[in-house]
Amino acid sequence: MSRGRRPGARYASRMAGHPHSAGPVYHRGHAIAHTLGGPTDINLVPQLGSVNIGPFRRLEREAVATPGSFYFTYWS
């Protein structure tokens, strides 16, 4: 459940090298957005950059802006 925007900065040192990207096409995306309370390192997954900064980002922003909304991800 979204609790709105999580305060605080990310822990950059915990994100470093977790996982390494496969070139410019992939990002280290969060399965559950940091702004929604997702953890930093174990929560990072290789994700197509076009998805991470496109539809996924819009979904995350909507969940942050709508406290109480149900938010989940399914990875295969």
Q: Please report, in tens digits, the pLDDT of each residue of the chain (76 residues total).
A: 777 777 766 666 666 666 666 667 888 888 888 778 777 667 788 888 898 888 888 988 898 899 888 888 777 7
Q: Partners of 26 in the beta sheet?
A: 48
Segments in the chain forming alpha helices (H): 12-15, 49-52, 55-65
Neighbours of 75 (CB within 10 A): 6
